[in-house]
Amino acid sequence: MIATFIDSLLARMSAKRHTSPPADSNIRYIDTPVGTVRVYDSGSTMPCVVMVPDGPNVIEHYEALIHLLSKTLRVVCFDMPGFGHSPPRHTYRHSLDQGAQAVLGVLDGLGIDKATLAFSCANGFYALRTARMAPERIVNLVLSQTPSLTAMHAWTARVIPGLLRVPVVGQIAAWIFRKKAAASWYGVALPKTTDPQPFRKKSLDALSDGACFCLAGVVQGLAKEEMASLCGITVPCTMIWGEKDRSHQHTDPGSLHECVPHADIVRFRDCGHFPDIEQPGRFAEILMDRIAITGYPAFAERRDRPA
């Protein structure tokens, strides 16, 4: 509990710098059972897709993908508690259940009955838990870079500094070095042929404007979770896997089948850790195809109709 209090305190200290008003009128703040989160909502009556940035990415990293999807879908994108401009409450432990409550809280706050969840990396586990808790509300899962929870634990042991796994000390270290960690991450996560500067700049601009990056909190929170919490999911699931993600070079994407045996795995051979925003056009096509297949024939007809 002390660790979560420290995380919340430091994040809110940073958030005091966030004085600029939202640049986009579609951005608002929504209260959920686990905290207030920053949300982009394109607003329409079309089928809905909900996305969350994989920190240190923020909503602004998704501008190109949002633009593509908003032509045919209602697009919701929000910063999970502890990331971007959604400071965590002192009781937020980054548990699977709390993450799912944040997702469902956003759906409730926007009056959305059903949605497709397009989450990535560790956030994919929150999407999976949401689908387990409320399968009647989740039409489809389209994940990126989300293996099994067991494989993610092994990834954490290989990639995340041990200091960040220590409660309290990890929270303080993550806050002190948040800009350095964000800047260096893109050099590892992206292919060597991809310029990391545009990604890095948006993250550092957000952090300078008070955004939070509670890496230690999410690492410690998910370390306590077990695979059983994610088994038994029946919702259609597709995972996009970027093969040039050097941080995941020893991770088997097929490990996702341990908890979602029916998951379809699509490989992006030229992408790193963020296939959704590295190749937004290709990702959007796959996402819209999955939505058209799973319960939205009218949407499929609109897509196929000549402009």
Amino acid at 272: G
Q: How confident is the model at residue 1 (pLDDT cuts 50, 70, 90)?
A: confident
DSSP H/E element including 49: strand 48-51
Instruction: State the Cα angle at 176 between 120 and 158, rounded to 5°.
Output: 45
**Does the structure show a pLDDT above 60 at 271?**
yes
Q: Could you tell me if 26 and 188 are in contact, meaning their C-beta atoms sit under 8 angstroms apart? A: no
Q: Where are the domains of the chain?
A: 2-293
Nearest to 221 by CA among 40, 84, 91: 91
pTM: 0.94
Q: In what order do the strands lie in the sheet with 237-242?
A: 27-32, 35-41, 74-78, 48-51, 115-118, 138-144, 237-242, 264-268
Give me the pLDDT at residue 307, please: 37
DSSP state letter for 194:
S
Rounded to an integer, the average pLDDT of 270-274 is 97
**Does the structure show a pLDDT above 90 at 266?**
yes
Residue with tokens 């079309």: 46
Q: Within 10 A of 1 (CB to CB), how many other CB atoms are there?
A: 9
239 exposed, middle or buried (CB, 10 Å; 0-12, 13-18, 19+)? buried
Domain 2-293: give its CATH superfamily: Alpha/Beta hydrolase fold, catalytic domain (3.40.50.1820)
Q: Could you tell me if 82 and 88 are in contact, meaning their C-beta atoms sit under 8 angstroms apart? A: yes
Query: Over the chain, what is the mean pLDDT?
Result: 93
Q: For 198-221, how does the pLDDT look when each residue is reduced to its tens digit (9 = 90+)? A: 999 999 999 999 999 999 999 999
Alpha-carbon gap, residue 74 to 80, rounded angstroms? 19
Give me the pLDDT at residue 21, please: 60
**Does the structure show a pLDDT above 90 at 299?**
no
